[in-house]
Amino acid sequence: MREGIIVEVNAADRSRLEAVVADRNSPQKHVWRSRIVLLTADGLGTVEIMRRTGKSKTAVWRWQERFMQEGVDGLLRDKTRPSGIPPLGDEAAERVVSLTVKSEPPGEVTHWTAAVVAKLIGISVSSVHRIWRAHGLQPHRWRQFKLSNDPQFAAKVRDVVGLYMNPPAHAVVVSIDEKTQIQALDRTQPGLPLKAGRCGTMTHDYKRNGTTTLFAALNVLDGTVVGRCMPKHTHQEFIKFLNAVERSVPAGKVIHAIADNYATHKHPKVREWLADHPRWVFHFTPTSASWLNAVEGFFSIITRRRIRRGVFRSVSDLQEAIRRYIHEHNKKSAKPFVWTADPDRIIAAVRRGHQVLDSDH
């Protein structure tokens, strides 16, 4: 061993080093560094350590000195090296952000890509990605939105949300809508079941066996659903469904029905029916705001859990599956609908949206 190298390994350090060597999951570079120090502490010379570890003389000396200076932690940490490429300045980042946000991409394309930006500015694609991440930019992503232009938006929101949060006494609040064009799809081949390491499969192609329309009324107070499958969704079918809901609600209770602005719901024949049934009170959601209708959540659930991955050889199979699901839902899963969004925040968000659109366009 050369002069000036004195490696003293106390019991705690030896225990840590031996644990690193014994652990089969330790990185190999940590293993041979630890062995160099342990062999040095045992009094072996440089040549013998080189023979046993298979490392060069300079490597043995380097890690002996690193242990003397920084201890065991120094062996388990690589020192950072300066990059061979000078870092990008703030000017390059500003150019990337400005180009992405304020300019249209060249050619017949709809959005910027990292490769195009990198080529125009003269930097690497990874640098563009890094700048985009730092500034929260994702040109490849987009979201759809729809703002209501209903002049009575605020009043209708407060009316509907008020029914959800403070339903009237001695009354029933139902959310009514129809899910149209539900297809009875059969697959051309049987799918494969779920197994370890493989998800369930289903053929991409299918056979169309007709469609049905699901009329549903969600009771906001207990979460139960009255549902009827019908071949069409005209005002005649809607009136038949209203009669079914009428029969399901005990006599003497006022029925507050929440519905969207679909033309069928406002048909003259429907208005005549409502005039003949004075205990019914209709509350319409604002235009382009069907998400205020609570039954839309039930439609989403039944689509995901029963319809989308179902196999139906006929419309009657589809209708029977829907009826069974609604029956099971009412028996086991129904629970009161709870509205949590603040109507004032909804109204304020829509107003901000209109202000941004007006200022940008």
- Residue 315 backbone class (left: φ over 0; alpha: ψ -120 to 50; beta: rest): alpha
Do residues 219 and 109 both lie within one domain? no
Question: How much is the pTM?
Answer: 0.70
273 is a domain residue: yes
DSSP 8-class letter at 306 = I
Residue where the block lists tokens 């066996």: 209
| Residue 198 in this model has a pLDDT that exceeds 80 | yes
User: Among residues 47, 75, 103, which one ends one of the domains?
Assistant: 75
Q: Please indicate, yes or no, whether residues 229 and 275 belong to a single structural domain of this protein.
A: yes
Confidence of residue 5 (pLDDT cuts 50, 70, 90): low
Q: Is residue 85 part of a domain?
A: no
Other Cβ atoms within 10 Å of 126 Cβ, number: 10
What's the rounded Cα separation, in Å, for the pair 100 and 112? 7
Q: Are residues 219 and 124 in the same domain?
A: no
The strand pair at 225-230 and 206-219 is best described as antiparallel
From CA 128, how far away is CA 354, in angstroms rounded?
32
Q: What is the pLDDT of residue 77?
A: 87
| Residue (of 81, 41, 86) closest to 64 by Cα position | 41
Residues 101 and 57 in one domain: no
- Give yes or no for a contact between 347 and 150, defined as CB atoms under 8 angstroms apart: no
Whether residues 212 and 275 share a domain: the answer is: yes
CATH number of the domain residue 245 falls in: 3.30.420.10
Same domain, 204 and 345: yes
Query: What is the phi/psi pair of residue 179, to 5°?
Result: -105, 110
Q: What percent of the chain has pLDDT over 90?
A: 71
Residue 360: which pLDDT band, with cuts at 50, 70 and 90? low
Q: Same structural domain for residues 244 and 341? A: yes
* Beta-carbon count within 10 A of 46 CB: 17
For residue 104, is it within any domain?
yes
Tokens of 100: 């992405």
341 has pLDDT over 60: yes
In sequence order, what E strands does the chain have?
171-187, 206-219, 225-230, 254-259, 280-284
Q: Is pLDDT at 1 greater than 70 in this prediction?
A: no
**Domain region containing 206:** 158-191+200-353
Identify whether residues 26 and 117 lie together within a single domain: no
What percent of the chain is helix, strand and coil (3-state, nearest 5)? 50, 15, 35
Match 């050369």 to its residue by tokens. Answer: 2
Q: Are residues 18 and 117 in the same domain?
A: no
Domain membership flag for residue 83: no
β partners of residue 254: 171
Query: What's the whole-number mean pLDDT along residues 324-331?
Result: 96
Residue 312 lies in a domain: yes
Which domain-ending residue is among 75, 99, 121? 75
- Is residue 227 included in any domain, yes or no? yes
The yes-or-no verdict on residue 252 having pLDDT over 90 is no
b (16+ CB within 10 A) / e for 292-323? bbbbbebbeebeeebbeebbbeebeebbebbe
Cα-atom radius of gyration of the chain, to the nearest Å?
A: 35
**Token pair of 342 as six digits:** 């603040």
- Reported as a pLDDT band with limits 50, 70 and 90, residue 85 is confident
Tell me, yes or no, whether 128 and 181 share the same domain.
Answer: no
Are 128 and 28 in the same domain? no
pLDDT at 84 over 90: no
Confidence of residue 190 (pLDDT cuts 50, 70, 90): confident
Q: Give the containing element (helix H, strand E) for 87.
A: none
User: Can you give the pLDDT at residue 3?
Assistant: 61
Q: Are residues 15 and 162 in the same domain?
A: no
> Are residues 59 and 73 in contact, defined by beta-carbon separation less than 8 angstroms?
no
In a domain, 4, yes or no: no
* In a domain? residue 177: yes
Calpha distance 333→302 (Å, rounded): 12
What average pLDDT does the chain have? 91
If one counts the domains in the chain, the total is: 3
pLDDT single digits (tens) 297-311: 999 999 999 999 999
pLDDT digits (tens, 9 = 90+) for 150-170: 899 999 999 999 999 999 988
Q: How many CB atoms lie within 10 A of CB 265?
A: 19
Q: Identify the band that residue 88 occupies on the pLDDT scale cut at 50, 70 and 90.
A: confident
Instruction: Spell out the residues 6+ positions from residue 361 whose beta carbon is closer than 8 angstroms to its own.
Output: none
What are the tens digits of pLDDT across the range 10-69?
999 999 999 999 999 999 999 999 999 999 998 888 999 999 999 999 999 999 999 998
Rounded Cα–Cα distance for residues 155 and 51 (Å): 86
